[in-house]
Structure formats: C-alpha cells, structure tokens
Structure 1
Amino acid sequence: MTKLKLSAIPDDRPVKITVELPATVHRDLVAYAEVLGRDTGQPADPAKLIAPMVSRFMATDRAFARVRRGLKKS
C-alpha cells in the first residue's frame, strides 16, 4: 500500500466553487486519484481530492497555524 497523505474521502456537504487548474496540476490530480483508488479499492474522483488536499495543506502549515492562533486571541 502506498503511503499517501490522504485516505478515504469523507462524504460532506460541499460549497460549490469554480477553480481553474494548470494542465500539469490536473494531470497530477488525476494520477493521484488513480493511486488512491488502487490503494482504497474504490474509485476516487479527482475533483473531490482538492478540498481534502487544501485542508491538509493548511492543517500542516505551521506559519498559518501561528497566524491563526494570533487572530483567535484578538
């Protein structure tokens, strides 16, 4: 099994936004979905990976966490 940063995508009520991605990012997103689908045994929709990836990125960004903690204290 591949050690990906994402696991199964939870079913959640989404807020719809439109995003334009560079073709290279889209190709990588499709490839990531294919690998995730093989690992979980369930097909993964590349579009549904974007929110968890952004969420994971923000959750692991230490500078963002420091700023956010500072905003909550104010």
Structure 2
Amino acid sequence: MLKLPKLPDRVPVKITISLTPELNQALAEYAALYAETYGTQEPVSELIPAMLKSFLDSDRRFARPGRSDASR
C-alpha cells in the first residue's frame, strides 16, 4: 500500500456569478493590494477561489472535526 492516497479530482468547475458594483470594486481593490503586497498581479478570477477556500477553512462551524477536504 502506498503512503500517498489517490489524488482527488482536480478538474476545475466553472461557475458564473453576478456581483454588485460595490463588491466588484472591492475585489479590484483587493487585487491591487495583493499586487502591492506580493509584487505579483493576479486577476480577481484567480484570487476568488483562494479567498473562498480561506473563508470556508476559517469557519469553525463548517470546518468541524471529521469534515474532510474531499467533502467540500
């Protein structure tokens, strides 16, 4: 038996959302701050998945013991 488990499905799933103008502006400002902080410009569309994962990982009720990454 290998120590490394079978890798999970890594095929991206594309979704479409609608944003308020205010949220769109806030995301653009966040992307600018990210670029200023790290010296690398990333499109908002690349930052959103990381932001959502960070949010879900930090939500204590959602990230309860026993919940695996595979179930997200």
Identity of paired residues, percent? 32
Which residue of structure 1 aligns with residue 22 of structure 2? 24
Q: Aligned-residue CA RMSD in angstroms?
A: 2.3
Q: TM-score, normalised by structure 1?
A: 0.67
Q: Deviations over 1:8-48 (max 9, x none)?
A: xxxx8632111111111110100000010111111121121
Structure 1: 5+ residue runs without aligned partners?
1-11
Which residue of structure 2 aligns with residue 47 of structure 1? 45
Structure 1 position 70, deviation (Å): 6.4
Look at both structures and tell me which one has the larger radius of gyration over its CA atoms: 2
The structure with higher relative contact order (CA 8 Å, sep 6+) is 1
Structure 2: 5+ residue runs without aligned partners?
1-9
More helix by share: 1
Q: TM-score, normalised by structure 2?
A: 0.69
Question: How many residues are aligned here?
Answer: 59
Structure 1 position 69, deviation (Å): 2.4
> Partners in 1 of 2:39 and 2:57 — Cα distance?
26
